[in-house]
Amino acid sequence: NAGVTQTPKFQVLKTGQSMTLQCAQDMNHEYMSWYRQDPGMGLRLIHYSVGAGITDQGEVPNGYNVSRSTTEDFPLRLLSAAPSQTSVYFCASSYRMLSRVGDYGYTFGSGTRLTVV
């Protein structure tokens, strides 16, 4: 049981390049989300999905694209990288309903540290 797996762990991009951050979970969670973490700002939601084929925007969606063709995978695409997208990106997954122990089982990946130069 690997939990939430993110790849790559580190990436340097040039301004204008595109790339895809990969995220996979093996817990059969309905929800998956992408957050970015910047100093002093906590984690901010980029996009999320409540199930395969369903996605929606979060707080900071501009410049990012997502799709969810399977329950397990939720890739994040940077369309044209900008220095403002330099950040640490976290993927997370969770249940839709409370579990028996009273939580939603939010599980985060270990992150992708992205630098755009």
Partner 1 sequence: QQQVKQSPQSLIVQKGGISIINCAYENTAFDYFPWYQQFPGKGPALLIAIRPDVSEKKEGRFTISFNKSAKQFSLHIMDSQPGDSATYFCAATSNAGGTSYGKLTFGQGTILTVHP
Per-residue contact flags (x/-) with partner 1 for residues 10 to 49, judged by CB under 8 A = ---------------------xxx-x----xxxxxx--xx
Nearest approach, Cβ of residue 80 and partner 1 (Å): 26
Write a three-state SS string for 36-103.
EECCCCCEEEEEEEEECCEEEECCCCCCEEECCCCCCECCEEECCCCHHHCEEEEEEEECCCCCCCCC
Under the criterion CB under 8 A, does residue 64 sit at the interface with partner 1? no
The tokens of 16 are what? Answer: 């204008």
Of residues 11 and 104, the one with the C-beta less far from partner 1? 104
Chain residues that interact with partner 1, rule: CB under 8 A: 4, 31-33, 35, 40-45, 48-50, 56, 58, 90, 92, 94, 96, 102-104, 106-111
